[in-house]
A and B are shown apart, each in its own frame.
Chain A
């Protein structure tokens, strides 16, 4: 089996400005944040981002990486609205395609199974059709008379997801409560990159867990990055929960350009190792406070 292990910078080396990039996880849960941070450090720009959005979206917006966002929501869970995303929207600096959450799933699924579209009722009679004027309707060819939305395939140039464990070939496992849509993101993409808490020998994946927890099969994975604490600030249950204190600091960094500069200088100016050290130092400070 091919050894697909690579580094975060090597993943970003496979991406190009203008690409459509899908980001797995859900809101503040199991986001591939170390790979998102690599994008922040890169000169990539004009990205179209597809996400069940959390701080991945806020950070990419704040760093000016996003040309267009394809989304159904952006939330930090404990903080209902992401202020960085709000600032980007309220200044009109990003384009959006706003869909029902299930339409997003449908679009990714259509891309996965190589269909141009899948029909759905979701979105009918709402402003989703007004704000996405390219959405087409299709009449049931079997005669019910129902007019349905033909949700177009959301084809991804690349997918980024984070899992608890993976082997070097890209079989990747979630140990938390929910696979989210990470398998669909990978299947809908030309290239899929999975970061994980720990790369383990294949036999370890099923030593204590049902094979159904291996949500990603290697035939849909192109690169594996070992990134301990790589989902940080978001949760990666059961390895760790959301860093709620840091989440508040992240949100507060949207208050002013100066606040963002300070946050960026402290946490985002160095490499991933520097970031993790800064987080560890911050934790020590909180403990001694």
Chain B
């Protein structure tokens, strides 16, 4: 298939977040991660568990932007979600407003916490998620507004702060990937600093550097993010996102 959009590249990259994850609860926030996780389960990661966004675990593959359609296989109410999260059997994709070089993220407030210039939603489950189970991030617009030298209210714990806090924080801390509209990133094992894994087709390494408010680790030649396969494209376009909501998040 031709005319693969940037959004569709991002969907496949988000699906890759969940490759080889086994039998865990996959919680993917943001439209493109929600498409990606369903794509992953439909294809190469069939053991993932997904919720309907409320309290049921649901089998099958349904379209984003509408109600879950599938067989209910279990109950996962908010009343029990933190127990589940803290067992570690979960991999979440969250959507940070700010992220720094070591993967500290902010979803709480911009400015002075006592009197923020911009109040956001609050830290939510980010503190617990990041120290208890695998965590990845999705950023729909890669820019120096989001990729900042230091985040204002650390809601999700990054590699440097976790190392400083000791084994209580580090034992199950597991930051995996950052997917953006420009690139895929992870963290260099030795330093914990953010590293460029691949750039999306048509994006240069320089563009990624320019859109990032801190230095990225780059190991040699940076490959290009893989394209979705024809089968994946058909699933994305016909089954999982027939209303093309992905283009609203990452415009063509």
A238 within 8 A of B: no
- B121's partner among A74, A144, A147, A181 (CB-CB below 8 A) is A74
Partner of B78, one of A26, A53, A89: A26
Chain B residue at minimal CB-CB distance from A139: B168
The reply to whether the CB of A117 lies closer than 8 angstroms to some CB of chain B is no
CB-nearest residue of chain A relative to B109? A89
Counting CB contacts under 8 A, is A72 at the interface? yes
The yes or no answer to A81 lying at the interface (CB within 8 A) is yes
Q: Which of A6-14, A90-98, A190-198, A263-271 contacts B (4 or more CB under 8 A)?
A: A90-98
Contact with A along B76-95 (1 / 0, CB 8 A): 01110010011000000000
Partner of B166, one of A99, A123, A146, A179: A146
Which of A125-133, A155-163, A226-234, A242-250 lies at the binding interface?
A125-133
**Which residues from chain B sit less than 8 Å from chain A, CB to CB?**
54-56, 77-79, 82, 85-86, 108-109, 113-128, 130-132, 153-158, 161-162, 164-169, 171-173
A132–B199 Cα distance when bound, in Å, is: 40
Residues of A77-127 whose CB lies within 8 A of B:
80-81, 85-86, 89-92, 96, 98-103, 105-106, 120-127
Q: Does A28 contact B (CB under 8 A)?
A: no
Residues in B with CB closer than 8 Å to A80 are 121
Interface residues of chain A: helix, strand, loop or mixed (majority): mixed
Bound Cα distance from A170 to B154, whole angstroms: 41
B128 touches A122 (CB 8 A): yes
Number of A residues near B (Cβ < 8 Å) is 49
Which 7 A-B pairs give the minimum distances between C-beta atoms? A122-B128, A92-B115, A102-B82, A73-B122, A125-B157, A124-B169, A100-B127
B113 touches A127 (CB 8 A): yes
A75 at the interface (CB under 8 A from B): yes
A71 to B172, CA, bound (A): 25
Contact check, B154 vs A101: say whether CB atoms are below 8 A apart.
Answer: no
Bound Cα distance A26, B158 (Å): 28
**A71: nearest residue on chain B (CB-CB)?**
B122
Once the chains are docked, how many angstroms separate the CA of A188 from the CA of B85? 23
Instruction: Give me 22 A-to-B residue pairs in the complex whose CB atoms sit less than 8 angstroms apart, sorted by A's number.
Output: A73-B123, A89-B116, A92-B114, A92-B115, A96-B113, A98-B113, A100-B128, A101-B124, A101-B128, A102-B86, A102-B125, A105-B82, A120-B86, A122-B128, A125-B157, A127-B108, A127-B123, A127-B153, A140-B168, A146-B166, A147-B168, A148-B168
Closest to A52 in B: B78
Do the beta carbons of B167 and A99 come within 8 Å of each other?
A: no
User: In the complex, how many angstroms separate the beta carbon of A214 from the nearest chain B beta carbon?
Assistant: 14
Provided the pairs A122-B127, A124-B131, A125-B162 are in contact, do residues A145 and B167 lie with their beta carbons within 8 angstroms?
A: yes
With A105-B82, A178-B79 in contact, do A121 and B119 touch (Cβ < 8 Å)?
no
Q: For the complex formed, measure the closest distance between the CB of B83 and the CB atoms of chain A, giving whole angstroms.
A: 9
A131 touches B113 (CB 8 A): yes
Kindly state whether residue A177 has any CB partner on chain B within 8 Å: yes
Pick the contact of A81: B121, B132, B173 (CB < 8 A).
Answer: B121
